[in-house]
């Protein structure tokens, strides 16, 4: 016997599809105009007097001077620092804002702003329109962006692009765990040795910039995500 559609599904889910599609259309339309870009991730809880706030701001300015657009999640903390650095250096500063009940509010340093209800739609925009990911210390959201990039590159769903983790004191513990448990522990053996080369951990902004520039000059960039 056919299942009777539930009223909630009839009233909500099909219309949610159109809302999702509208976010994709708006995102593709806007982001296709921003040019070569680098996405910067990090904690929304990072205060302005934090050394990593200053580093993110400086690095975004460095990117802007090399004619890269800077993309962030559009919120406070590291995101605000990166948007501010790009904006003040005369570059294009993009914020891909997400609607959240706490923490997230748009920072004032964005030249281009998009608002998203769905994390997965926003994630597609980050990957499709970025030529590199740079992750400063952050929480679950930053880790999500990092591991998602690893998955896409490892599986060939995205063309390989630089993924750089800034802050050895923060990231070395995670790197050691991945190496000791996921790679080397014979009881698990969940990744291949070459997977450890998919990302770089560094304290040097100049090393990070060199990695990005060596991967591709701004005029030679192509979109990452595969059809």
The answer as to whether 48 is a domain residue is yes
18-62: per-residue pLDDT in tens?
999 999 999 999 999 998 999 999 999 999 999 999 999 999 999
The mean per-residue pLDDT over the stretch 117-138 comes to 96
Q: How many domains does the chain have?
A: 1
Task: Please give the angle made by the CA atoms of 163, 164 and 165, to the nearest 5 degrees.
Answer: 125
Averaged confidence pLDDT in the chain: 91
The answer as to whether 225 is a domain residue is no
> In this structure, what CATH number is given to the domain that contains residue 39?
3.40.50.450
The answer as to whether 74 is a domain residue is yes
Spell out the alpha helix ranges (H) of 66-204: 78-88, 119-128, 140-154, 168-177
The span from the CA of 36 to the CA of 108, in Å, is 22
153-197: per-residue pLDDT in tens?
999 999 999 999 999 999 999 999 999 999 999 888 899 999 999
Residue 85 exposed, middle or buried by CB count within 10 Å (0-12, 13-18, 19+) = buried
The answer as to whether 206 is a domain residue is yes
The packing angle between helices 78-88 and 51-65, to 10°, is 40
The answer as to whether 223 is a domain residue is no
The answer as to whether 179 is a domain residue is yes
The answer as to whether 224 is a domain residue is no
DSSP state of 36: S
The span from the CA of 117 to the CA of 21, in Å, is 12
The span from the CA of 44 to the CA of 82, in Å, is 11
pLDDT band at 110; cut points 50, 70, 90: very high
The mean per-residue pLDDT over the stretch 199-215 comes to 97
The answer on pLDDT for 225 being more than 50 is no
Range of the domain at 102: 7-217
Q: What is the pTM of this model?
A: 0.89
The answer as to whether 226 is a domain residue is no
pLDDT at 103: 57
pLDDT at 153: 96
């Amino acid at each position: 016997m056919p299942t009777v559609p539930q009223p909630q599904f009839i009233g909500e889910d099909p219309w949610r599809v159109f809302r999702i599609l509208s976010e994709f259309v708006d995102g593709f339309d806007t982001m296709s105009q921003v040019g070569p870009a680098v996405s910067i991730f990090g904690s929304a809880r990072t205060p302005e007097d934090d050394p990593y706030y200053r580093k993110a701001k400086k690095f975004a300015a460095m990117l802007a001077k090399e004619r890269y657009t800077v993309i962030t999640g559009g919120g406070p903390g590291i995101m605000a620092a990166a948007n501010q650095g790009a904006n003040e250096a005369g570059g294009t500063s993009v914020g891909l804002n997400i609607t959240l009940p706490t923490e997230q509010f748009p920072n004032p340093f964005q030249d281009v702003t998009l608002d998203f209800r769905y994390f997965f739609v926003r994630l597609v925009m980050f990957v499709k329109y970025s030529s590199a990911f740079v992750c400063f210390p952050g929480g679950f959201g930053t880790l999500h962006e990092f591991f998602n990039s690893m998955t896409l590159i490892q599986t060939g769903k995205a063309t390989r692009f630089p993924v750089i983790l800034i802050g050895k004191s923060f990231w070395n513990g995670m790197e050691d765990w991945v190496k000791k448990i996921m790679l080397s522990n014979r009881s698990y053996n969940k990744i291949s040795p070459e997977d450890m080369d998919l990302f770089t951990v560094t304290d040097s902004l100049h090393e990070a910039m060199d990695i990005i520039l060596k991967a591709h000059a701004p005029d030679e960039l192509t979109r990452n995500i595969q059809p």
